[in-house]
Amino acid sequence: MRRVSIALLALAMVATACATDEEPAAEETTTTTEAMTTTTAAPEPAGAEVTVASSDLGDILTDADGNTLYLFTPDAQSDSVCYDQCEEAWPPLTGDVSAGDGVDGSLLGSTERTDGSVQVTYNGWPLYYFAADNAPGDTNGQGVNDVWYVLDAAGDGIGIAAAGAMVTVASSDLGDILTDADGNTLYLFDPDAQGESVCYDQCEEAWPPLVADATAGEGLDETLLGTTPRDDGSTQVTYNGWPLYYFAADEAPGDTNGQGVNDVWWVVDAAGDAIK
C-alpha cells in the first residue's frame, strides 16, 4: 500500500507540474495587443496648370495634359456668355491654376460663372475645352463658326485677324441657302425685322452671331452684305439687312437643324429672304 501511495503521489506531482508549464502558453494565446493606428490627411488636389505646347497651328495654350484651350469671341475678353447647349459643347476650365512653361502668369485671371464656379481667364479671355477634341493635341475646335479659336502665349486668338468670314451659297434639301465658307448654315431671326439684332443672353448662346469681316462668295450679291453693331461692341454680319446667325445644335456643315425653330428662325436664300 505504501508503494501504491508513493506512486499515486508521484503521478499527482507530475500532473501539477505539467499544468503549471502549460498555463503561460494559454495566457499567451489569450493575450491581445492593441493595434496602433495612424490617420493621414488626404492631400489637397493640385490646381490645374496652363502651359504652352507646340501644335500644327504654332505654340498654343493647353492644360498640363496637353488638352487644347480655346477662347470664344462673343465673350469679348469679359465674362463668359457660353451657357446651356454652348457650355455642353465647350466645357469651361474652372478652378485654381498656375502658370506652366511659356505662360505669362500676369495674364492669368478668373471670372465668376452664373452657377457660382470660377472660370480661368487668360489675357481677359475665359478659357474652354472642346468636347469634340478626343485626345491631347487635338485642335478640332479651331475656327468653329468663326468664333472659337486657340490662343497663343500672348493670349491672342490664332487666326482671328485673318479669319474674315466668307458668306456663300450652298445646295441643301431646302434649296440654295446661305452658309459660311465651311458650309455651316446661316440663319435669320424674324424679330430682328431687317434691323439690329435683338438676340442676346440665352438667345445668343443658342444662336451665335456671325461676327467677322465678311466677303461675298460665289452666288452671293455683294451689295446685300452689311454689318450691324452688337451691345458688346462686336460687329455682326448682315445680308439684305438681316443679321446672320449660326445654330449651336448644328453639329456639322450642311446641318439645318435650326430651320423653323419656334417659327422665327429660318435659313436664307441667295436673295436674302427667309425660306419658309
pLDDT at 162: 54
Residue 16 has pLDDT above 90, yes or no: no
Q: Where are the beta strands (DSSP E) in the chain?
A: 48-55, 58-63, 70-72, 97-99, 108-112, 118-122, 125-126, 148-150, 165-172, 175-180, 187-189, 214-216, 225-229, 235-239, 242-243, 265-268, 274-275
- Domain coordinates of the chain in residue numbers? 48-150, 165-275
Q: How confident is the model at residue 114 (pLDDT cuts 50, 70, 90)?
A: very high
Work out the mean pLDDT of the chain and round it to a whole number: 83
Please calculate the CA angle 193-197-202 and round it to the nearest 5 degrees.
120
* pTM recorded for the entire structure: 0.52
pLDDT at 43: 35
- CB of 266 closer than 8 Å to CB of 257: no
